[in-house]
Amino acid sequence: MNFRPTLTLGSIIARAAFTAEKNDFTNHLIDRLLLLAISEPNSHAARLLQTLVGEATLAQLCTQIEHELSDVEFASNSENANIRSNFFTKIFDRLASVSVVGEPNNTGHILLLAVADPTTISAELLQRNNIDYQRLLVAMGTLSVDEDRYLDLILQ
């Protein structure tokens, strides 16, 4: 697999895995990843959405996603081990499916993944704001591909 996440993306995935395990979540992991990605200051995903819908609408999207996720049921303890063992593999495989070979993978790819999956809460909310997969791809071309990594390097 040719998947190279930025430090920011790797950190978000690790935090989502920890939260999923701690809270026994089995569903809506993409939504939870996206929420972490757009909550990360200056992440590629947050900048893309700010460009497309504005900062106020971005804040509303975060609130709507959080609200929708608050109604999600928890997994049973027997499913918890399955979450732990498969989380990283599934997320990395799915992110690799929306990535461009040879380009670094950043938080914008979580946004692509969420929009591409009609079962996510995020896809529905983004569609209401006229953000679809094609429009997102065009917007991704306007920002530096490796933006998450540049921010990570500045912070180190």
Torsion angle, CA of 50/97/77/12, rounded to 10 degrees? -40
Tell me which residues of the chain have a pLDDT lower than 50.
150-156
Number of domains into which the chain is organized: 1
The answer to whether position 2 is within a domain reads: no
Its pTM stands at: 0.71
Of 97, 129, 119, 127, the closest CA to residue 110 belongs to 97
Residue 144 domain-assigned? yes
pLDDT for 90 equals 74
pLDDT computed for residue 127 by the predictor:
92
Residue 44 within a domain: yes
CATH number, position 14 = 1.10.1780.10
* 89 in any annotated domain: yes
Instruction: For Cα atoms 16, 7, 124, give the angle at the middle one, nearest 5 degrees.
Output: 45
Rounded Cα distance between 132 and 114, Å, is 10
* Confidence (pLDDT) at 154: 45
What distance in Å separates the CA atoms of residue 64 and residue 72, rounded to the nearest whole number? 13
Q: Kindly state whether residue 1 falls inside one of the protein's structural domains.
A: no
What is the structure's pLDDT at 25? 54
Among 88, 76, 99, CA closest to 10? 88
In a domain, 110, yes or no: yes
- On whether residue 130 sits in a domain, the answer given is yes
Domain range for 42: 7-155
